[in-house]
Structure 1
């Protein structure tokens, strides 16, 4: 069925964005017997960013979604981590917390989620550019880039840091760290000799990380001072320029094996992005629900990669939102979603979701923000002292975030 026919349909639940959180949310609802539609702007399942670390709390969420066992077959567990200061010649261990930590290819994760959904759930080539909330019907109208409109009853925005749905809710725009990240994958056909640990090396305000996925595949990243120059804008669109930028600008002063790893990387896996975040104080007061519209994942709480919790937090959102909505919609025929009494229940379920998630994401974002300030190029002594004191006061156990359990569906 083409979209010209679907234009006249009224969907019950629409999830905007077919990334990790959007697919996970659709799967959570599906596991509870609730049908939804995912609108994805690309023409296929997308997996930008090469790979993603999933800590123990993320694996609990994946287990609830029913995909943990299959994903464990794609990546080996990490045994620990190290942080190396090449300037000072110092090395310290990085705790991974309790439970398992693995680094997954993003394509493996999104494909596992997408393949678990009923056929036809994902509608490709549907880029939402605006949302209207008519006061009389309270039924959101989604305007697509090509001029088509979709009328729905419930909207869940999982459309990333530049979220159209977040804008509709009046959330403040995501802010930018003065850092950018190059990410990629390198395949070793004959196997690599790296230990199964995450390694972060730092020199002259540049950080290079390396994380094995399995015996033949390694994920790596380069974090450095960002620039808005025309060269960087062009680089963000050209994989070969991204690779050369990482090699020449970032790792010339690093061990030769790292430079070789980047030179041998898979061009299709490369990306260059500016690191963004929602300020913790904005999250504390933000309105995450209007009518039957809410947000999840990066659209709600985009954060830097410094704790490795962005993806896992989005998976937690999906489980909690699925549970809260199912508690209100269980047994309700989708054709009745537009009725006022049902919409009241949906709003109550979304409020429960927001209440349960707010302080969790505020704490995660605060810890990530403070850690990110210490990664900023040349932080002042005052900034360092304030961040260290706040971390000691607010996060006495720096790995406590891994112990969090979002519960089951």
Structure 2
């Protein structure tokens, strides 16, 4: 690997975060490029980037480098829906059919918005192939979900809706929003443009040159990660086994390629609106979006109180292969201080979190895919640990 390249800024209190960020590269936990950003009390205190946007040609990761946030996009889509719920246009307890009557076919009439956002609707994939023509026409996607029979009885178990989550939320937003906007358009007009954010669900063609190229994890790195994170073995089974939901998700979308890196290295696919997984951004802007929640700028205090802890804690996920905490479209973890963090992981290591108690928001993005996700990603966990050590300084 060429010599790592670094840039950014850190307030003196958080100097250790920068040390750990660089050490992740020195210890070869980072094989390509990465970025990490932190907002505290609404102020940017960490903004770091390093490595390469495309190591094959030694294109450096720069301040304005964009990368795919994968499922951190679900958090942003859920914030958009939360804004509409905060406006009393809907409730998390509403039946989906209140806003989308046709959805109730084939045993889905009792699905609530909460169940859908908690990955309990029994729709982790759609039977058959989901073609590009379906993705660009929300009416075709609507019909697919209306006719789909749940894979399990809704509300009886949890199974991560890898891609379908985004299209389901998009259908709800289009129906609940008085202007009938898609998630991507709603975000741009209500959050992105007003706050000057470099974040796109459906990326403009002219920005492709700024996007980091994704690199699939090498087998030796997978083994190294699995040794330090034992749950990865079970996750790997659920990801690779043809008997499990993840395999059927890929079968749904086989025309796109055989891996997430193939999907999202394709510029044409980045231009589509896939609100479950193709938000393109910087760590700085992903953290800022979530900082707006901790600052009280996007959601009311009462709505934030509703979402501050998971609706469905400690449930085994039959898509991912481990127990986690979900609710309201978010994934929840505990901070090193023992408090709930709101946000979402992304495949390959991407992550974003809100710490309401400390008025903190932070995001990690990489183009060097990791075997794990979320709190099973070593570089991210190193950074989170250092961040809280800095916070606890007197």
From the two aligned structures, give the one with the greater strand fraction: 1
Greater Rg over alpha carbons, structure: 1
What is the TM-score of this pair, normalised by structure 1? 0.28
What is the TM-score of this pair, normalised by structure 2? 0.28
Q: Which has the higher contact order (CA 8 A, sep 6+)?
A: 2
